[in-house]
Amino acid sequence: MAVSTPLLALQGVSKHFHGGGIFKQGRRVQANKEISLSLADGECLGLVGESGSGKSTLGRIILGIEKPESGAVFFQGVNLYGPDKAAVRAVRRDLQVVFQDCFSSVNPRLTAGESIAEPLRNFACPGFRDVLLAVGELLELVGLTPGDAAKYPHQFSGGQLQRVCIARAISLRPKLIVLDEAVSSLDVLVQAQILDLLSDLRAERGMSYVFISHDLAAVAHLSDRLAVMYAGEIVERLDNMENLNCLTHPVSRALLAAILPAQPMNRDTR
Ligand SMILES: Nc1ncnc2c1ncn2[C@@H]1O[C@H](COP(=O)(O)OP(=O)(O)OP(=O)(O)O)[C@@H](O)[C@H]1O
């Protein structure tokens, strides 16, 4: 039986940093330690953990922008840090990101339309008219209007601008999007709308997500599988999100406790 290549595969990835500045000289931080994981086409993997557990570093490694000191990252079978730069360039357009801070993710001098058009121009090189049409369609897809293309970032709310960033991220029909705390700065109602949008887009376009968050509730909403990180390591994995309550590691339990409703008083206790 033929074994299909996973969309993404990390093999024993490790990364450390040396603290900078006069106060932290020589301090070694193990941001990621021997991390292995894989992701199939169309899957969403949730990556949760407390602040400083190494989630964003792992996200950057997956994106091909933070070289690990050991281990390998394969995306569509291509080693993102391997010697074949042409192969890396060829798969690079299929790998996109949405960050937490949408306001610093876009150029304030560019209109929404220009921001969304950038990847199309860089990678796909369509004509002016096609770009215009594509931008209008993308804006509608994320719940905005083609007329919003003329607005500048400061003319949007946080939730609207995050929709612009999502439109930009999906413009090249990527296979994988890394969502790095993509809803964390939004209020609860807008968070829910963006999570629904991401869920719909995934169903419609068959994309995969690596969803990085400290918020287990948000991750549970979107993910098929879960990896819990602590001090640079994956300390627990869950393959079925219906078993969320079966998490056992103390860090997982703490993240779970943060989203569970308070226990109701026992009415029979008098
Ligand atoms: N460029 C860097 N230089 C030095 N240390 C770094 C660098 N990037 C990350 N670190 C350190 O690596 C560790 C993991 O950081 P990382 O940002 O990956 O964690 P995180 O789980 O994403 O945290 P948060 O949720 O707060 O963003 C932290 O101790 C952090 O201080």
Which residues are CB-neighbours of 236 under 8 A, at least 6 positions away?
Answer: 227, 228, 247, 248, 249, 251, 252
- Residue 44 in any domain: the answer is yes
What number does the ligand 1 atom closest to the CA of 56 have? 22
Q: Which of 56, 178, 180 to mutate to test the pocket of ligand 1 (most atoms within 8 A of CB)?
A: 56
What number does the ligand 1 atom closest to the CA of 214 have? 25
- Residue 47 in any domain: the answer is yes
**pLDDT of 107-146, one tens digit each?**
999 999 999 999 998 877 678 888 999 999 999 999 999 9
Whether the CB-CB separation of 28 and 16 falls below 8 Å is answered with: yes
Residue 241: give the domain boundaries: 7-17+29-94+176-187+209-259
- Residue 109 in any domain: the answer is no
- Residue 200 in any domain: the answer is no
Whether the CB-CB separation of 169 and 94 falls below 8 Å is answered with: no
pLDDT for 21 equals 60
Band of pLDDT at residue 3, cut at 50, 70 and 90? low
Nearest Cα residue to atom 26 of ligand 1:
51
**Radius of gyration (Cα) for the chain, nearest Å?**
20
Phi, psi (5° rounding) for residue 12? 55, 45
Q: Which helix (H) or strand (E) is 99 found in, with range?
A: strand 95-99
3-state secondary structure 10-43: EEEEEEEEECCCCCCCCCEEEEEEEEEEEECCCC
Nearest Cα residue to atom 6 of ligand 1:
17
Number of domains in the chain: 1
pLDDT for 230 equals 97
8-18 and 225-230: which strand pairing?
unpaired
- Residue 124 in any domain: the answer is no
- Residue 270 in any domain: the answer is no
Residue identified by tokens 């369609």 is 137
Phi, psi (5° rounding) for residue 169? -65, -30
Whether the CB-CB separation of 1 and 202 falls below 8 Å is answered with: no
**pLDDT of 56-92, one tens digit each?**
999 999 999 999 999 999 999 999 999 999 999 999 9
CATH number where 222 lies: 3.40.50.300
pLDDT for 209 equals 97
Partners of 237 in beta bridges: 227
- Residue 202 in any domain: the answer is no
Nearest Cα residue to atom 25 of ligand 1:
51
Q: What is the mean pLDDT of residues 225-245?
A: 96
Would you state the structure tokens that stand for residue 54, as one six-digit string? 């190494």
**What's the complex ipTM?**
0.97
Statement: residue 239 has pLDDT above 70: yes
Nearest Cα residue to atom 30 of ligand 1:
52
Whether the CB-CB separation of 118 and 106 falls below 8 Å is answered with: no
